[in-house]
Structure 1
Amino acid sequence: MPNPPRTRAAALTAAALLLSSLLTGCGGDDSGDEDLTAQELSWKACPTPSQAQGGAGSPSPLPDGGSWQCATMKAPRDWNDPKGDTIDIELIRARTSGAENRRIGSLIFNFGGPGLSGVTTLPSFGDAYEKLRTRYDLVSFDPRGVGRSSPVLCENDQQLDAFFQQDTTPDDAAERTELLDNTKEFNEACEENSEGMLPHVRTTDAARDMDLLRQVLGDDKLYYFGISYGTELGGVYAHLFPQNVGRAVFDAVVDPTQNSEQGTLGQVKGFQLALDNFAEDCTSKTEDCPIGDTAQDVKDRIAKLLKDLDSKPIQGVFPRDLTQSAATNGIAQALYSKDLWQYLTEGLEQAYDGDGRILMLLSDSLNGRSENGEYSNITAANISINCADDKPRYTPEYVERKLPEFRAASPLFGDAFAWSLLSCTDWAVPGAADHPDVSAPGAAPILVVGNTGDPATPYEGAQRMVEALGAGVGVQLTYKGQGHGAYNSKNKCVQDAVNGYLLDGKVPATGTVCS
């Protein structure tokens, strides 16, 4: 079922480019007998991204005119059988721009999801990490099951168009049955089309891949920058390999103490907070807010729009209409970043006049749909990794009992997020645990950055991550801001603290606050 994705970092650059356009007008199974830590990577010019990676153009040159390089690393398909068959893990890097004698090592990025392609995401940030490149090679990867790394695949593009149009907030028994049937069809397609990868995409598997990557890159320690779900991956790595943790930063922090229901409810509250802040921002400006007279009026008008769309969709991106579900996803996507609020305002204004194109483009961006109608595998990977990780399985009856609690948390997002709990019902692979174990006694300090206005990873998760990592490991930094994450907000205080730690080893005082 269309799933308001848990812990997914938005592809904000792609979304902005897509909207601006409207407004202006390699792997296989091999024998794994060799010592994989001794493999040598063959770095070459990056190929054009695959459809599963998002199908965009090749990465633009680096700010200094240099080129991104790509390579393939082999990893065990099944970490319980490390000498068995292997899979390919796709990598990308930018060599350090600084003097070799000042190079620290490789700084490995994971941008979240789960399901985002690091190979396409790292270059999309352009010069955002140029200062970090003065002492590191910048490296990212497609985690197993994602992009070009033995991707899990579910439904085809035509089926996904229908999948994201369906009603995800059933009002009666017939709609509920249709939602359950569609969810079962999607999950069966994942099992059928993923070539046996579903049991091998857990976060613990990806963490072991990262430790292999550390060794293959020649680093004694893992230098790491994890964003959104990347903080969960980093926490799991720290638990499994505390002695190998170097300088690490967690930004937009997943709460590691929550099960899937608790995490989803936390996101409901987070998106409602972001919506409240968006409405207040629009109506508090000196000029008139075009979508409401007061903050409450803005939210009331959005609620009416969604109610009307439930029975009567409007024009979207031809030939698709904007449904209630697509509009909800489009609004959620825009709340990931304050940079997208202007598009949300314009999209709502146009939707009230019967034109749903902007909201649909926002929804398409969230779902990994390109302008040519092709989907990346972000949704397939997101659901597959979450379902492999998360032990709980929920029934429709349980969700119905929980609806009042979710609606109280957010009248707008509550129903859709509550019903998304059924995504793993009848999944082919059992979930691993109620929540990840991130305890990492003895690990080096990890800088944990929480954003008070974060919709997708609510601020409270940062403190809980610090506590779960254990005494002397987690160091909390608070950013009083909006949007998903802090470093890429360009807040100087946050960037100085992160850069100071990663580049010079200066650990900020715990409890530091940036605004």
Structure 2
Amino acid sequence: MQRFVRSAAMAAAGVLVAGLAAGCGGSSDDGGEDGKGGKDGAGKGLASQKLDWGRCKASEGSPAPGADWQCSTLKVPLDHTKPDGETIGVALIRAKSTGKGDRIGSLVFNFGGPGGSGVSGLPSFADSYDKLRERYDLVSFDPRGVAGSEGVRCRDDKATQAAEQKVDLTPDTPAEEKAYFEDAADFGAGCAKGSKKLIGHISTVDAARDLDLLRQVLGDDKLHYFGVSYGTELGGTYAHLFPGRVGRLMFDAVVDPSADSIGHAENQARGFQRALDNYFKSRGQDPEEGSAKVAKLLKRLDAEPMRASGERKLTESLASTGILVTLYSKQTWPVLTRALEDAEKGDGSSLLQLADAYNERDPSGRYSTQSHSQRAISCLDSKGRSTPEEAKKRLDRFREISPVFGGFLGWDTAGWCHDWPVAGQHDSPEVSAPGAAPILVVGNTGDPATPYEGARRMADELGKDVGVHVTWKGEGHGAYGNGSACIDGTIDDYLLNGKVPKDGKVCS
């Protein structure tokens, strides 16, 4: 369960700062890996394909990026156990190296999710990577089942909005509980109907095998990779499957690979509550008192949703999402202050606008399919299938961890993959990569969505002399590009010059 692991929320919240201020998560098989970087069965034939790079077209709801960007499609096997069988297309984007330094190769990005679009994400974040572009082609992709790569769609916009308004994600009565789990089952059935045969072939392991095929087609002997949030789990899975093909891999905002679905939910409850506590401390408020006030607001919304905009109302669930999105970056804490003040005055518009940004709903009522892909991928990855009774028994523990977010995340352990149409693959991902080159693992002490402790666990599970742990004492989801010259310099030196820092390095 990784409902809130996605870096796109940082950009979504950032877009709202001016407006509101002014007005308002494989298999552990090795797939034939020879440990030396050779091709495996999944690459036969398709490894020799030539990419037809051309001008990018506008995607649904997003304009085409500028002339610097080129797009193409990589053919990959639908089923990697049948490399000569049916293929699907993986959407790609790149900006070629500026040539200001000796070219190293391609640097492939994944910004999180699961379900985040790299084709739309990379141009949005590219200004942060100008220095890296001096020696790398910057490349990203929509993983299979995402956006331009056979994107999964589980329900239409009308049904999505109806569920947001009517389904209580912290059910208090038998009727609310029945509606909650019926909606979860309906969503899964919609995914199966909308994606048909793809639903069983969009796991993180599948994406990691696609990543190795991409490496070959790009002409790189080793994979150089920049993974953020869920992208760290994808990178760790790649390193486990193909340790001999690891080049320079950097993980930022790191998923805890030792956690199962319940552990992930607990981690996120702890991480978001920690970030909320830090927000209150920054305002000179007592975190316990501040959280109690927010919890009281959510309880009122649970009983009676608040007027917001048009016919829509601010529900408890939408308010929780609106609060969460502002915790992804310290820059959006002032937005949270304004939104909470508005809500206390009876106006839910600001929190609803924040929730819409996270849920990628535009003003016309159209939603992206990011959340559909996220759920479909994570439920295929994870075996976790808690019953409603099991979720109820753990609610007290979750609420103790987080009085604000614990109830929602506790119920989510059962609702997220309830009655899912395909079985999950593992309890937790396998990332051990003995013999791989050193991998940089950067943890942020204030990270809400992928709490800091997960970075050390990732480094440990990658293995001795492989995982190199670096700490940033900061706030927000991710460290690179957030104002730390120490962090940015360390990562740049590793990716550009191959300089591996000392394990345990700390940047303030």
Please confirm whether the aligned pair reaches a TM-score higher than 0.5, indicating the same fold: yes
Mapping of 1:257-296 within 5 angstroms? 257-283=258-284, 294-296=286-288
| In 1: Cα distance, 2:280 partner to 2:64 partner | 38
Alignment of 1:141 onto 2:141? yes
**Bigger mean CA offset, 136-145 vs 122-131:** 122-131
Q: 2:475 aligns with which of 464, 482, 501?
A: 482
8 Å Cα contact 1:336-1:454 kept in structure 2:
yes
Q: Which moved more, 1:353-362 or 1:409-418?
A: 353-362
Q: Tell me if the contact between 1:221 and 1:245 (Cα under 8 Å) persists in the aligned partners.
A: yes
Cα 1:187–1:39 shift into 2, 3 Å: same
Question: What does residue 298 of structure 1 align with?
Answer: 290
Residue number in structure 2 paired with 1:288: none
**Corresponding residue for 2:14?**
16
Helix, strand or coil: the match of 1:164?
A: helix
Among 38, 45, 49, the residue aligned to 2:48: 38
Tell me which amino acid in the other structure corresponds to 1:124.
Answer: S
Q: Is the 8 A contact 2:17 2:332 kept in 1?
A: no
Distance, in Å, in 2 between the alignment partners of 1:347 and 1:197 is: 40
CA distance change for structure 1 residues 33 and 335 in 2, over 3 Å: closer, same or farther?
A: closer
Instruction: Tell whether the 8 Å contact from 2:47 to 2:217 is kept in structure 1 after alignment.
Output: yes
Hey, what does 1:287 align to over in structure 2? none
Cα distance in 1 for partners of 2:239, 2:43 equals 28
Residue type matched to 2:424 in 1? G
Query: What CA distance in whole angstroms lies between the structure 2 residues aligned with 1:242 and 1:298?
Result: 47
Residue 58 of structure 1 pairs with residue 59 of structure 2: no
Amino acid at match of 2:363: E
Residues of 1 paired with 2:258 and 2:4: CA distance? 15
Q: Cα deviations across residues 37-79 of structure 1 (Å, max 9, x unaligned)? A: 11111111111112xxxx22222x4xxxx52111111101111
**Greater Cα shift, 149-158 or 363-372:** 363-372
Query: Where does structure 1 lack aligned partners over 5 or more consecutive residues?
Result: 26-31, 284-292
How far the C-alpha of 1:142 sits from its partner, in A, is 0.2
Q: Counterpart of 1:129?
A: 129
Give the whole-Å Cα distance in 2 for the aligned partners of 1:303 and 1:33. Answer: 52
User: Is the 1:6–1:264 contact (alpha carbons within 8 Å) kept by the matching residues of 2?
Assistant: no
Paired positions, count: 488
The offset of 1:34, in angstroms, is: 7.9
1:424 is paired with a residue whose SS is coil
Deviation string 1:397-447 (CA, Å, 9 cap, x unpaired) is 000011111111001101100111121121111000110000100101000
Of the three residues 327, 346, 367, the one matched with 1:335 is 327
- Alignment gaps of 5+ in structure 2: 24-41
Distance 1:388 1:457 in 2: 20
Amino acid at match of 1:93: R
Alignment of 1:104-503 (within 5 A): 104-165=104-165, 166-283=167-284, 294-421=286-413, 422-503=415-496
Query: Residues 220 and 244 of structure 1 are in contact (CA less than 8 Å); yes or no, is this contact kept in structure 2?
Result: yes
Looking at structure 1, the residues matched to 9 and 292 of structure 2 have their Cα atoms a distance apart, in angstroms, of 28
TM-score (norm 1): 0.92
Return the offset for 1:488.
2.7
Q: Retained in 2: the 8 A contact 1:4–1:417?
A: no
Identity level (%)? 51
Distance, in Å, in 1 between the alignment partners of 2:17 and 2:307 is: 16
Deviation of 1:19 (Å) = 5.0
Q: Does 1:95 align with 2:93?
A: no
Tell me the TM-score normalised to structure 2 length. 0.93
Describe how 1:495-514 pairs up with structure 2 within 5 A. Answer: 495-514=488-507
Moved more, 15-24 or 359-368: 15-24
